Amino acid sequence: MNLDIPLSLYIHFPWCVKKCPYCDFNSHSQRGELPERAYVDALIQDFRQQLTTLGERKIETIFMGGGTPSLISPKEIARLLTSIQTSGQLKADAEITLEANPGALDEGHLSGYRQAGVNRVSIGVQSFDDNLLQKIGRIHSASNAVNAVKLAKQAGFERINLDLMYGLPEQSLQGARDDLEQVFALDTEHLSVYQLTIEPNTEFAARTPILPTSDQYWQMHEQTQQLTQQAGFEQYEVSAYSRGGKEAQCKHNVNYWQFGDYLAIGAGAHGKLSGVDEEGVLQIKRYWNQRHPKAYLAAAETGAFSAETKTVLPAEHDFEFLMNALRLKQGFIESQYLARTQGNISGLMSLLKPFFEKGWLIQTDKQIYASTEGYRYLDSILMACLPEVSE
């Protein structure tokens, strides 16, 4: 059975110059020289081991995240991508994204990444206010961020995303507006905007700074909606905006939200793969790798990179699909739902009926998506769809 499910590859680089106080990702402060060659060797070994599960499926996108991937030299990124390309599993026109920190970026690195095959760069700006950057523990300045965008363009990158945050400690509504205006002035094609949230087991959770009120958060959110639209950006997902239509969207992230599959290599990386058993029944598994860089590197001796694998039960398929697909403004089509869950469309419609009646969800020509009001209440919709699963 040929699964009609796109396949991506996520590659995790776990090191940062310094851990940000709000970050709950698997990132570790750099201590001395990075073992980048040994780590890339491990990534290549991990990837080759997973090739046996792919059959004829091709990888359509690659995303190198972290941590700070731009701490890794262009030479090692090139060696990694060359190994992936020579496997024969990568599509010739694959989108290949690398996350970069403006404080760990220069012209030589950017040019080297572009020559290595990276064709999209995502720059973690967060703010253009030096005072706010200091409050959230970033190592770069506003001028570093502006310069990074200029250097990326000079290196030949046409696809550039900027990450921005709002609701920062003591940030004003005007301050959030100023950040957006600076993004627009840099004339990039993609923007990701996130509200600062306090996550458990972070420095901010232990010592929470003074944050905007809930009303101020909402005003910043509404301001973001208004100003991005005026600047020609179209919101296509909860936190993602593109200028230039579908081609400007992040294809890798869209695959996540459409409940696609993705391999995962690197310390703590999470993957999702679908297959069918002998009776043609869909099997979905999630897996994650050894979390600590030292444990991941040590796993190269045995090949035991994966720390745990979990089967997604059939009763969970609908919820997991909706949790991703409803984040997209366009929602999903019935055939997509059927191909990626083997679910029952009548049962799904029954589950969602209360939200159609409320006007929170809309169905047109088999397309199902959240209304403007429903987009505000996605959490409520999903909580009502949460399955009862016994262990």
> Is a pLDDT exceeding 80 seen at residue 86?
yes
From CA 195, how far away is CA 311, in angstroms rounded? 32
pLDDT of residue 389: 57
Helix (H) or strand (E) holding 81: helix 74-86
pTM of the complete model: 0.96
Q: How confident is the model at residue 294 (pLDDT cuts 50, 70, 90)?
A: very high
From CA 59, how far away is CA 26, in angstroms rounded? 24
Q: What angle in degrees, to the nearest 10, is found between the helix axes of 173-186 and 142-154?
A: 20
> Is a pLDDT exceeding 80 seen at residue 219?
yes
70: nearest Cα among 27, 29, 31, 103: 103
Least confident of 76-80, 104-108, 129-133, 337-341: 104-108
pLDDT of residue 1: 46
pLDDT of residue 54: 87
Average model confidence (pLDDT) for the chain?
A: 94
**CA 122, 379, 137 angle in degrees (round to 5)?**
40
pLDDT of residue 20: 92
pLDDT of residue 365: 83
Q: Which residues contact 22 (CB under 8 A, 6 or more apart)?
A: 136, 137, 196, 197, 198, 199, 202, 203, 204
> Is a pLDDT exceeding 60 seen at residue 193?
yes
From CA 344, how far away is CA 318, in angstroms rounded? 9
pLDDT of residue 245: 87
> Is a pLDDT exceeding 80 seen at residue 388?
no
The 10s digit of each residue's pLDDT in 354-370 is: 999 999 999 998 799 99
Least confident of 17-31, 77-91, 204-218, 312-326: 17-31
From CA 91, how far away is CA 55, in angstroms rounded? 14
Q: Which residues contact 198 (CB under 8 A, 6 or more apart)?
A: 22, 204, 205, 208, 211
Strands 367-370 and 332-333: antiparallel
